[in-house]
Chain A
Amino acid sequence: MFPGIDGFHWTLGHVLFLSLFFAVVLTILVTVASAAWRTSRDFHSHRAIDLWWRSQFAELPVSDRRCRHELAGRVLSRTCDNAFDCRHCEKYSQFAVLPATGNVGPLGLDYADDRYYHRGHTWVKPEEDGTVSVGIDELAARLVGTPDLVSLPEVGQGLEVNQTAWRMKKNGHEIEVRAPLEGTVVGIGGPKEGWYLKIRPRLELREPATLRHLLCGPEVHGWMSRELERLQLQLHAPNTAPALADGGVLMPDLMNVVPPADWDTVLADTFLQG
């Protein structure tokens, strides 16, 4: 083991000491190697995005982790502990049957009843051919206005739910838009078309698990009004009164209208980009 050393002879001390030492080194190396191996395994099994998402979710403030059933007024207060993925939520069906009692006042924002909404402000609209179109919702659109640059994925690319589906640039800020569901990109649009991607979902549209994690119906209103509230708080400069009066209409192209705001935080909170 120790070649080239004059007069080196093994003693019991050497054996004990060196075996202890190398056991320690081995433990350290095995630990790192196993962390690296688990990381690569997570990537191969597409769990990486999920882990990433869950870790981001864990850092959200409690106020941003409200359960959809609370947003719809089915329960008084409930915090999501499933990273917004109701497909794995055991309590989902238990609450889903309760009547929605949410307040439906005017919002000044349009949302459609035939669309499903992801918490990263994308919508999903099922099409007749079994695909879905995906776009950004009214709140996000008014925020960004016309993006300076949009880089969309290529047709044929697979997407995982919550993965970055496409990127946009506005005033030097990079925006990552979360994919609302998993599937394959079958068509690309843009801001002009009103939709950005056409996706063939991995599961049939008829399957309840395809869209169950997305907000729909009365939940959307509750969620949108809270998001609007958050935005209002974030957009007024520290020493001024809120710029958007309650019940007012969100102005289009906000990023150009209110330039001095902390856009990094606003965009990160809106698009859940971590």
Chain B
Amino acid sequence: MASTVLTDARWITRGAERISLSRFLLWLSPWAVLLAVGVYAAALCLFYGLNQTNMDNRFAFGLWIFLDLGIIALGAGAFFTGFLVYILKRVELKPILNTAVVVGFICYSGAVAILMIDVGQPLRAWFTFWHPNTHSMLTEVTFCISCYLLVLSLEYIPILLRNRQLRRLPSFLVFEHQLHKLVPVLAAVGTLLSFFHQGSLGGLYGVLRGRPFAFRDGFLIWPSTFFLFILSAIASGPSFLVLIIATVEKVTGRKLVPQELYRRLAFISGVLLAIYVAVKCIDTLVWLNYTSPAAGFAPWQYYQHKGFGTPILFAEIILLGLLPAFLLTFRKTAASKPWLLTAAAMACAGVLLNRFVLTVQTLALPTLPFDDFLQYTPSWQEVASFAGVIAYGVIVYSLSYRYLPLFAAPKGRDSHVSGN
């Protein structure tokens, strides 16, 4: 008889070299533990209510909303890559399309899972679909994110069905083939949805007339943050993909995509980031000089609290905005891997900082003259549930990398892109 060692070789794409099953399980086990802790923390929140968190009536949104906004912005690489490949026909980005879809799927499904814990009555979430308030940005976000998660799942299915064992079933393979032909339609729909909900997430805070720190003037029904969020999301999405792919290459010790692709992603990211920084500067000046004073709030007030002074504004726009934009665009720095990765990380950090400022600082700042600047520390349940989402992401990506042809070249196993 053949060896009795447990093996999953039959499930791994033929020709792909993967670590042994036991080593793979060893790699997964800490993440599985983290996921279990996260699920436990989430269960506590669902079972006992949101008193398990450290949120309160002033800090009604906390760590979860900040990180949701963050990972959704970083997950924008999925729709934007699909848009570039299918709509603008930039076929050179095709090798990273599968990874972009999987990363997008992880980001969005993780965010939706956290949102489901974050609301007080998750079972009532469907109310939004039955009696929507069309004036609410959150309605737009709910509609678009649920639709887009559906689109991402549908884009994920063809990748899933390319698994070596699943594809042996003719019905799966033919469905994969047919669905794959229609993926451009899904990419177009996904682009539309993403544009709207990335914007609406920005609008979420921009419309808050009662929070002059976040409130922005805008165009028609959309505050300026609507457009800024779209820009910053599509600027950071490619950078995040660069980081993910570089990390996977590091962990697996394999060359997955040509260096040229890194450069191209970096360039796209850098140019968009530069545009974003320019628009953000104009927006900030308008807000400081017109919008905020018109609401009766002198802008200096916002920056007089310890740890939240003007350096945060400088960091957001210049240090983690303009600087990485330059580094990503210039041929010299983009050609060096360490500089490229540093710049990509800075771009992602800048967008995260922007989301942090808009979600957390907005709520921390007082509005009434006799209110205080409030601090809030998330409870372990909040941190753990989110860590669980990250563990979930690592596990889903690891499984996808191991069992699905993520970096497959379009034709033939022995094309120039190897490693699968």
Contact of A60 among B151, B167, B186, B413 (CB under 8 A): B413
Stretch at the interface among A20-28, A66-74, A197-205: A20-28
CB-contacts of B403-420 with A (<8 A):
411-414
Nearest-CB distance from B418 to chain A (Å)? Answer: 12
Chain B contributes a number of interface residues (CB within 8 A of A) equal to 41
Is there an interface contact between B178 and A28, defined as CB atoms closer than 8 Å? no
Is there an interface contact between A5 and B131, defined as CB atoms closer than 8 Å? yes
Residues of B near A263 (CB, < 8 A) are: 2
Residues of A near B179 (CB, < 8 A) are: 32, 35
CB-contacts of B299-318 with A (<8 A):
none
Bound state CA distance, A57 and B202, in angstroms? 47
Q: What mask results when residues 171 to 186 of chain B are scored 1 for a CB within 8 Å of chain A, else 0?
A: 1011101110110011
Is there an interface contact between B168 and A43, defined as CB atoms closer than 8 Å? no
- A-B contacts counted at CB < 8 A amount to 104
Check B288 for interface membership: any CB of A closer than 8 A: no
Nearest-CB distance from B416 to chain A (Å)? Answer: 12
Chain A contributes a number of interface residues (CB within 8 A of B) equal to 47
Stretch at the interface among A9-17, A117-125, A150-158, A177-185: A9-17
Per DSSP, chain A at the interface is helix
Residues of A near B14 (CB, < 8 A) are: 265, 268
**With A13-B135, A48-B170 given, is the CB distance from A36 to B1 under 8 Å?**
no
Residues of A near B178 (CB, < 8 A) are: 34-36, 38-39, 42
Residues of A near B332 (CB, < 8 A) are: none
Check B36 for interface membership: any CB of A closer than 8 A: no
Is there an interface contact between A274 and B167, defined as CB atoms closer than 8 Å? yes
Nearest-CB distance from A181 to chain B (Å)? Answer: 18
Bound state CA distance, A263 and B131, in angstroms? 59
Given contacts A31-B182, A38-B178, A61-B412, could you give 12 more A-B pairs where the C-beta distance is less than 8 Å?
A: A13-B135, A14-B134, A17-B134, A49-B170, A51-B174, A52-B170, A58-B412, A59-B413, A65-B412, A172-B2, A260-B3, A265-B15
The 3 A-B pairs with the shortest beta carbon distances in the complex, nearest first, are: A17-B134, A35-B179, A13-B134
Binding site for A on B (CB under 8 A): 1-3, 9-10, 14-15, 130-132, 134-135, 139-140, 143, 147, 150-151, 154, 164, 167-168, 170-171, 173-175, 177-179, 181-182, 185-186, 189, 192-193, 411-414
